[in-house]
Amino acid sequence: MSDASLSESSQVLQNEDLFESLIRACQRQKAIPVAVCWPCSSVSLAGAVEAARSGLILPVLVGNEREIREIADREGLNIETYPIMEANTEEDAAIQSVELCRSGRSASLMKGSLHTDVLMHAVLKEQGLRTSRRISHIFIMEAPLYHRQVLFITDSALNISPSLEDKVDIVQNAIDLAHALGVSEPRVAILSAVETVCSKMMSTVDAAALCKMADRGQITGAILDGPLAFDTAVSAEAALRKDLKSPVAGEADILVAPDLEAGNMLAKELEYLGGARSAGIVMGAKVPIILTSRADSVNSRVASCAVASVLVHRPAKGQNA
Name the nearest CA neighbour of 59 among 77, 220, 210.
77
Nearest-CA neighbor of 42 among 54, 31, 32, 50? 50
Note the pTM of the prediction, 2 decimals. 0.93
Q: Are residues 298 and 269 in the same domain?
A: no
**So what's the pLDDT on residue 13?**
55
pLDDT at 295: 80
Q: What is the pLDDT of residue 319?
A: 46
Bond from prior residue into 231 cis (ω within 30 degrees of 0) = no
Identify the segments of the chain with pLDDT beneath 70: 1-16, 316-321
Residues 238 and 311 in one domain: no
Do 166 and 39 reside in the same domain of the chain?
no
Q: Which residues form the domain of 187?
A: 134-280
CATH number (domain holding residue 141): 3.40.718.10
Both 96 and 224 in a single domain?
A: no
Give the β-pairing of 254-256 and 84-86.
unpaired
Residue 14 has a pLDDT of 53
E-strand ranges in the chain read 32-37, 57-63, 84-86, 108-111, 136-142, 150-154, 187-191, 223-228, 254-256, 277-283, 289-290
User: At 120, which CATH number?
Assistant: 3.40.50.10950
Same domain, 100 and 194: no
- Do 3 and 62 belong together in one domain? yes
pLDDT value for 305: 97
